[in-house]
Structure 1
Amino acid sequence: MRIAIIATVAIIGLLGTTFVNNQSNQGALKPQQAAAKQAYAQIIDVRTPEEYATSHAESAILLPIQDIERGKLPQGKKSDPIALYCRSGNRSSQAKIMLEKQGYTNVTDLGGLSDLKKHGLSLVE
């Protein structure tokens, strides 16, 4: 009798943990997406507000290159990892140079929208 109770409790425990694991994995990020999000403190879209409204990288913040030119800078420490992107990679490469001249030491240019997928980032449209 005692063995039957222990076996029943063990089976219920195993089934319960399997159910919880399946439920928690349904909304999980793919490993590549999780790595990309952890690699950068900020993912910054340097395009215009109109372009950003059309589509942007998930979790990206908007900081147009025109604002960077006027002296608006990303929040946080200058040593925090920052990733920049734009439509084609041109503006993001210019923004990287501007931020480095302002003392930012950990800036990555992701390139254009078409390059985001290979960095594990998805677009919100």
Structure 2
Amino acid sequence: MTTSVSKTAAPTGPRQGRFGLVVIGVLSALAAGGFGIIAVNAGQTPGIVAQTITYDITDTSVEINFQVAKGEGDEVRCTVDAFDEKFEVLAEKEVVVPAGTSGMKGTETLRTARRATGARIHECHAV
């Protein structure tokens, strides 16, 4: 009596496993990129860009140069402040960029009770 055994096809498991890993990798990369974009833009109003250009620190004051870009029809309010090494705000001032202009370059001098370590313009929002 002769018994014949049919030849089975080669297993396809490893090839399918690699494809699944590639799909998971691509989806993970897209999700990480999306979360990165959200994190970078969190707390900002779209269409308003504020930038600290320079600041000059003395023992009792800080002079800050900044610029703000925005839409022409928007009035924008920003906060300019000086802070110490623990990021405690020593002095702050609100700056208004009027409607009818697409931006503004400005200089403000903030008086401080003690020596600051930095200054910035931030928290810009349309009114």
TM-score tier by shorter-chain length is 0.3 to 0.5
**Higher strand fraction: Structure 1 or Structure 2?**
2
Larger radius of gyration, structure 1 or 2? 2
TM-score normalised over the length of structure 2: 0.37
**Higher helix fraction: Structure 1 or Structure 2?**
1
